[in-house]
Amino acid sequence: MLNTSEILETIGMISRQKLDIRTITMGVSLFHCAGDDPKAVSRKVYDTICKRAENLVRVGSDIEREYGIPIVNTRVSVTPAALITAALNDPLPVAQAMDKAAAAVGVNLIGGYSALAQKGVTQADLRLIRSLPEALSATERVCASVNVASTKAGIDMDAVRLMGEIIKEIAEKSSGTGGAACMKLVVFANAVEDNPFMAGAFHGPGEARRIAPSTWAYPARASSR
């Protein structure tokens, strides 16, 4: 019944070689938060994240303990913000609400301040993209992404050019930290809907209300940043 070599190898991997370290990401749908009143939208975003993820960190610790696996990072990912802020003039309050909610529930990062622009940049996409320098340098935990291409739709060259300019602006805006805000942005081609990997994590429009946390393991050295 016991495979002793497998067991000893697994334990060695975790305790001595530090080779198995997990992160967990909970996907949360924010579709019901959409509206045209920025205060109401922000409050709903904050409340939803706080409610759905309130036990995430604690349960992560319990899992860590029961299975003896280190979980070094806990995250939340949400519906691409460009979709839920489409009726707002400025999506930035939602980034701030996401940041506050992430701090409240105690997660390390929150992804989904995102736009899906592979087939064209909508006004909502444009507002979100233009807000990225401020959003990423003024918040701590928010991660953003923009999908600019897909195999089916091709490459949206306007989006590509725009992102080139925006990345430089983000770097300038966060020059005090060596352009560190750029680390919280991913520009995608063929982004998948259920992607839990930061900084590009978001909860795709086709996903269910809340996705049970997914995990990823990666070596200790990569995770130490």
Partner 1 sequence: MRAVITVIGKDRTGIIAKVSGLLYESNVNILDISQTILEDLFAMIMLVDTSGASLSFEELQDALRILGADMGVEVRAQRAEVFDAMNKV
Which stretches of the chain bind partner 1, using CB under 8 A? 1-4, 6-11, 13, 20, 65-69
Q: What's the rounded Cα separation, in Å, for the pair 145 and 115? A: 7
Q: Report the sign of the C-alpha dihedral through residues 217, 219, 220, 225, in that order.
A: negative
**Of 22 and 75, which CB lies nearer to partner 1 in the complex structure?**
22
Find out whether 20 and 217 touch, Cβ atoms under 8 Å.
yes
Structure tokens at 27: 């996907």
As a whole number of Å, the CA-based R_g of the chain is: 18
Find out whether 185 and 174 touch, Cβ atoms under 8 Å.
no
Cβ at position 64, least distance to partner 1 in Å: 10
Q: What's the rounded Cα separation, in Å, for the pair 86 and 13? A: 47
Cβ at position 20, least distance to partner 1 in Å: 7
Q: Strand runs (DSSP E) across the chain, as ranges?
A: 21-28, 71-78, 109-116, 142-150, 154-155, 185-189, 210-218
CA end-to-end distance (rounded Å), the chain:
40
Cβ at position 8, least distance to partner 1 in Å: 7
**Of 65 and 168, which CB lies nearer to partner 1 in the complex structure?**
65
**Of 8 and 155, which CB lies nearer to partner 1 in the complex structure?**
8
Cβ at position 16, least distance to partner 1 in Å: 10
Cβ at position 162, least distance to partner 1 in Å: 42
Cβ at position 214, least distance to partner 1 in Å: 14
Query: Which class for 69: exposed (0-12), middle (13-18), buried (19 or more C-beta within 10 A)?
Result: middle
